[in-house]
Structure 1
Amino acid sequence: MPTRKFPVTWVVTADVWRARFRECLDRQGPLQEVADLALETEEMHGNARDLKSDKPGRAFSSTEASRSMMEPHHDPVELAKLRFAKAVARQVNDAFRRNQFKRLVISTPPKMLGALRQDICASAQQVIAGELDKDMMKATPQAIFESVEPFLR
């Protein structure tokens, strides 16, 4: 009886600062790293004050003649994290279009997972074999493989 060929599976592990892309070519592993992506170093500080201008803008009050500081509409750290999620999704979409994988498993913290779901293209979403809402960036490749192994069957 002929054996069925195992489809190339990418396993993406990411947090809000870094993403690793690994591929699995066999049901028994191992995972081989194929790409690594990190948020720009100047955006990694995690402090909003490091990502915006020194002073907020000023606006006139509608009820008084005085001016007051304006609060930013968005948190610069959160915006940097969303930009990074878009970059991770772009990497996945590009790899899918180049036929680098046939199945995809994603393991990220819940907020990042939600952001990735919005930006991964519909055709790549169709090949998602599994999702783990878990940060496994510091886990060993063997521990990651053991966590995603149920999705590789």
Structure 2
Amino acid sequence: MNNVWIVVADAARARILSCEGRACSNMQDVEALSHSESRAHNQDLVSDRPGRSWGSTGGDGRHAMQDPTDPGVQERDRFARQLAERLREAHHAGSFQHLVIVAAPSFLGALRELLDRQVAQTVTAEIAKNVTKVEKPADLRKHLPDFLY
């Protein structure tokens, strides 16, 4: 029988569940990952306020410089990279044959870009929904299609 992994994730936490077959009965927790830095406020992620510079169009005014990237986005991408690597390792170890991803929309996009090509080919469903706070596997099953592959 085919083993299915279900990844439920957002930018700060991920939960991996496993089940057997197309109907995905008897879902069980495999692993939980968390990334507390993604929950932090931007001001807590950077050490200083942005610097100041002179206006580029002349004049005497000075302006605050803006960070080139959002620290929160950087942390989200770092966690997506960590999760993608974990999925790659598990796939190469033969832990699953099919993958279902249920993730917050912005995190789903970041994770999709970072998935290994072989892992991406095992994805049978993607659901852009944040259900990370759903605890019981039976309640989580309600958010999934009837047949997973």
1:36-95 Cα deviation digits (max 9, x unpaired) = 1100x34422x1111112232233444357654311111111211111111111111111
The residue that corresponds to 1:113 in the other structure is: 108
User: 8 Å contact 1:103–1:128 — kept in the other structure?
Assistant: yes
- The answer to whether the aligner puts 1:32 opposite 2:28 as a matched pair is yes
Partners of 1:147 and 1:66 in 2: CA distance: 54
Give the distance between the partners of 1:82 and 1:28, measured in 2 at CA: 29
SS at match of 1:147: coil
CA deviation string 1:129-153 (max 9, x = no partner): 1111111111221122233252335
Give the root-mean-square deviation of aligned CA atoms: 1.9
Task: Give 2:98's match in structure 1, choosing from 103, 112, 120.
Answer: 103
Structure with a larger share of its residues in strand: 2
Which range is displaced more, 128-137 or 140-149?
140-149
Pair 1:81-2:76 in alignment: yes
Which ranges in structure 1 are unaligned for 5 or more consecutive residues?
1-5
Q: Is the 8 A contact 1:105 1:151 kept in 2?
A: no
Query: Is 1:151 equivalent to 2:142 in the alignment?
Result: no
> What does the per-residue CA deviation read over 1:87-117, in whole Å, with 9 as the maximum and x for residues that have no partner?
1111111111111100001101111111111
| 1:3 corresponding residue in structure 2 | none
Aligned residues with identical type, % of pairs:
32
Q: Distance in 2 between matches of 1:151 and 1:80?
A: 33
Residue of structure 1 equivalent to 2:52: 58
